[in-house]
Structure 1
Amino acid sequence: MGERTGQRQTGYARRMMPFADLQPLPRQLRHPAVRDLAWTLLAPPLLAQCACPQRHPLSASDWAGDPGRLAAWLAGLDRDPSPLLAWLARLTSRRLGLYYEALWQFALRQAPGVELLAANLAIRDGRRTLGELDILLRDREGDHHLELAIKLYLGPPQGDGHDPAHW
């Protein structure tokens, strides 16, 4: 993103990571599922620049205007994770992608200023499934479709990770 935590964010960096100052928070949380949720919401984007306009799913939430509210919500969940655990108990699969989607769905349902319109909405032509919309949400900037994916990459133990050829 070109800007570091603690610097004033503008433009693309702010739209992709409105919570840069909270990035240390996941390491401070005790409950594993709450840490996972915090990481999901606070991890920086993989790409510094994209050909198409991008935005963080919570960039038009009330949390983006007051990141301390998000931090307080996560701290409250860390003290009592039962709402998150009840939500995750509905999962019938241990697949990482479905867990990641469930974490986003939980957060978007709780986010002030965001309305989760649909999740995992199948697109069908008769009996044939053409695809699925992961998330449809509404916020003060309009209606948005999110496709969620989590990708893990392994890098070599040496080096600083800045050279894409090493991944």
Structure 2
Amino acid sequence: MNTAPVTRTIYVLVGLPFSGKTTLAAQLVRENDAYLIERDRFLEDLRHDPQTRARVAEEAQSVGQPISRLASIREENARNDVLTRIYVERVRDMILATEKPVVIVDGTHLQALSRSFIRELPGWRTVAVVLPTDAEECIRRLTSSVPTGIRSAITPDLIRRMAAVYEPPGMAEGFDELHSA
């Protein structure tokens, strides 16, 4: 937990794709005149940034060249971990730079690493808001929508795999409050 006097609040939305996070984020932004950080848009921008691409390639290379399917999976996981670390660094910087009293971070944040930007943010109250929509309902929503951008890469299988690796947020991560939407 933060020890500095709390003056501002960060809401970290946690849930599967199509669980309702973006709808809730829009509502929270309207109600709180909040600063919105959209993880999907942010990661899409990171993937196209030449400096980020070079850093991901360099750091993931330490895993080694793929010589089998397993090595390929390890390399892909390493790239994703590097992207997540870059995301965490930049989100923390964006939060510290904003003058808004409320920040909404809209993203899946299914694993503790992706939520670690909340550490070392003195003066911020941190709230995890979990959208507990189950995988099958998210898949139903996926198949009845027309996803665009990064969301167009989401498949029913991906949602099921994401649900399988979900780590519920906890107070030990540094959250001041945990809520279910």
The one of the two structures with greater contact order (alpha-carbon pairs below 8 A, sep at least 6) is 2
Query: Which structure has more helix as a fraction of its residues?
Result: 2
Confirm or deny a common fold (TM above 0.5).
no
Return the TM-score normalized by structure 1: 0.30
Return the TM-score normalized by structure 2: 0.28
